[in-house]
Amino acid sequence: MRRIKLLSLCAAFAGAMALAACTHVISQETSLPSWHPEALGEGRVDCSECHEDKVKGVLKPYASFSHTPVFVKNHRFYAGEDGRLCATCHKPSFCTDCHANELEIKPSIRYGNRPDRELVHRGDYLTRHRIDGKIDPTSCFKCHGRTNNEQCVACHR
Amino acid sequence: MKHKLRLMTLAFASLPSLAAAADLGVDATSLIRLEERSVPGFKDENVVPATQFLGVDLDKLGDGNLSFHLHGWGRVDLAHRSTDEGTTDGDLSYAYLAYRFPKADGLVRLGRFYVYEGIAAEQLDGVSVRGDLAKGFTASLFGGAPVRLDITDRNKGDYVVGGRVGFRVPGILEIGASALREGNTDTGQTANLKNYRQLVGGDIWLAPFRMIEVRGHSSYNTATDGFAEHSYLVLFQPLKDLSISAEYNDYRLKDYFASTNLRSLFNPDKGETLRSYGGSVTYVIAKPVEVSADYKRINYHGDNHGNTHRYGGEVRLTLADRKVRAGVSYHRADSNRADVNSYHEVRGWGLYDAAAYFASLDAIAHFYRQSIDTRSHDYEFVGSAGYRILPNLAFSGDIAYGRNPRLDSELRGVLRLTWNFTSTSKGAAK
């Protein structure tokens, strides 16, 4: 019984020490907000319209995240490092509109009322994929190499 | 399918227990497509799939930092089958509990979710933890079972674990190291494959001067002992309205394609490499007019492959406090190989989005160097109009018509009802 008490005491002490260490190891900075506090206009946002400084949580200039054509085209780099900043304005379903294990509808059909959005495979892509796949198969692999390829299997067995 | 339905039922069944949530958000989109497909030599076919997309977000649960998020879809074919699979289908994209810590951007997630951390882009049923550490360090960990596809139960491993460690110097540098391991993957008929997927990688963001940024990552496949990818982007912004970018990508397909479940299509055994480089320029002439041009050279090294130039440009207009948006673009894919086709792409679109009504037009056409099935071009027109019955309830309809090498004609109608509900005002809508 005494041994159990001693072990419990040791465990409690170790826990308290770990907690104390964590409070020193973990940043004391306030987290990013869950929502952008102000309503944003439609279309691509330009963060530098209102912000000049660095984003507190990710320590990078706001201008880095303005949704320019380069940003939109290369958003995978931003998602890999600063996904929590994306989550301030976007729900995960914004990503799964295009990047999903199983996609029900081509994004450009689902959002046929949003021609301003950069959505892949517009028009007759079934014909065009034979060309793009021969030119650069890595562009197909990113989304269809391991996931979202149930329709590919219908022909490519 | 049954597994997915069970998961969705379980997810919905958990909602009543969370009904005391302080904040509720629901995004629901109902889509009915009406398509007439006219294939040369075959009888015309009508397909009428009805799809329901549903997202639920319950925030401020428990002590206010706990939340629940769910998103999925289900489809019923009301006429001919719309896909090669059954007349019904569905998928649970994500359903997870999240706990956000007030400090250090700490986040714990439990359930089905997506992870984007360094080289990892995974969908899994499991747990993830992330947070900022002292002295500029960050850390994240995840683990669980990878979400499988319907087509076979063996194309993913039994488990996937990974994480990323990062270090930041405010405003100047962030470097990250990430790793991922997926165990007990199916090797199929190929005897020399490893039964695991294991990648390590590094990523960087560097801003040595105010107007220059470098972003990119490299990944190394330790299962095949080779670099899979190097992808880097340099951004140069000499003026507020002028952005210049350059990119470089290098793939070794033996290592990059090694984990595919479609080896006949993404064949990693040929020892091929693909290198591409290019750049773009974007200039905001005046606030409503944005002009951009891009170029990319793709060198695909291997048997029966060649080099391709991709280039083009786009002009975008944004007027009347963003109520009116429009764009025209031209792009060209120009291959140097006679047996790989080339094409021109031309597109024009316009959108009007007022408080009550919204409407858009979109036209796209492709012109091929070599005719495909006797057709030298394809085109598609899409017209859409909608009305907001309430600020968060909108009804819209699209009509699309096109001709292409596959179909004599393709006529498609889409009816769309969108409902976005939030119980409280939380700032900008997501």
Domain extent listing, chain B? 103-229
Mean pLDDT of chain B: 91
Contact: B134, A26; criterion CB under 8 Å: yes
Q: What residues in B contact A60, CB-CB < 8 Å?
A: 171, 174, 205, 207
- The reported pLDDT for the residue numbered B318 is 93
Domain boundaries, chain A: 44-90, 102-157
* Residues B31-38, mean pLDDT to the nearest whole number: 89
How far apart CA B288 and CA B316 sit, in angstroms, is 8
How far apart CA B200 and CA B220 sit, in angstroms, is 5
What pairs with residue B28 in β-bridges?
B54, B419
Instruction: List, for residues B218-237, the tens digit of each pLDDT value.
Output: 999 999 999 999 999 999 99
Which of B116, B240, B257 is opposite residue A83, by nearest beta carbon? B116
Range with lowest mean pLDDT among A2-16, A133-147, B60-74, B382-396:
A2-16
How close is the nearest chain B Cα to the Cα of A17, in Å?
Answer: 17
Inform me whether the pLDDT recorded for B12 exceeds 70.
no
How far apart CA B180 and CA B142 sit, in angstroms, is 9
- The reported pLDDT for the residue numbered B91 is 93
Distance of CA A32 to the CA centre of its chain: 15
Residues 201-240 of B with CB under 8 A from A: 203, 205, 207, 213, 215-217, 231, 233, 235, 237, 240
Q: Which residue has the tokens 């004599």?
A: B408
Inform me whether the pLDDT recorded for B279 exceeds 90.
yes
Instruction: List, for residues B97-152, the tens digit of each pLDDT value.
Output: 999 999 999 999 999 999 999 999 999 999 999 999 999 999 999 999 999 877 65
How far apart CA B281 and CA B18 sit, in angstroms, is 49
ipTM of the complex: 0.89
Q: What residues in A contact B406, CB-CB < 8 Å?
A: 124, 126-127
- Which chain A residue is nearest to residue B25, measuring alpha carbons? A91
Share of chain B above pLDDT 90, in %: 73
CA angle B90, B92, B94 (to 5 degrees): 160
Contact: A150, B85; criterion CB under 8 Å: yes
Residues 122-181 of B with CB under 8 A from A: 123, 130-134, 136, 147, 149-151, 155-156, 166, 168-171, 174, 176
Range with lowest mean pLDDT among A60-64, B40-44, B224-228, B336-340:
B40-44
- Name the band, by pLDDT with cuts 50, 70 and 90, for residue A1: low
- Name the band, by pLDDT with cuts 50, 70 and 90, for residue B317: very high
Instruction: List, for residues B330-366, the tens digit of each pLDDT value.
Output: 999 999 988 899 999 999 999 999 989 999 999 999 9
How far apart CA B304 and CA B135 sit, in angstroms, is 52
Phi, psi for B221 (deg, rounded to 5): -90, 105
Q: What is the pTM of this model?
A: 0.89
